[in-house]
Amino acid sequence: MKNLVTSIWQFYVDGFRSMTLGRTLWLIIAIKLFIMFFILRLFFFPNYLDEAAGEGDKEDYVSSELIMRAGR
């Protein structure tokens, strides 16, 4: 089993080591993921729960909202 895992690991290491265009593509993918998950989140997805609930009351706020919305 260990030999199988080692051979699979070596296969991927050798493949990534010999890439030329692939490294550039992986860099582009990493930059796009960074922009999507960190930059856009800061500007377009505010932390509504902190603003609406306050300190220490997040659980109560969420449960009351779920109960209210389920009753509609």
Domain locations along the chain: 4-71
State the Cα–Cα distance between residues 28 and 31, nearest whole angstrom.
Answer: 5
> What's the whole-model pTM score?
0.47
Those residues whose C-beta lies under 8 Å from the C-beta of residue 23, and which sit 6 or more positions away, are 16
Averaged pLDDT for residues 4-18: 88
Q: Which residues contact 60 (CB under 8 A, 6 or more apart)?
A: 53
* Stretch 13-30: mean pLDDT: 85
pLDDT value of position 21: 84
Percentage above 70 pLDDT, the chain: 100
Rounded mean pLDDT, 9-19:
85
Three-state DSSP class for residue 46 = coil
Residue range 64-71: average pLDDT? 88
Cα(21)–Cα(14) distance, rounded to whole angstroms?
Answer: 15
Quick one: which of 38, 34, 36, 64 has its CA closest to 49?
A: 64
At residue 8, the pLDDT reads 92
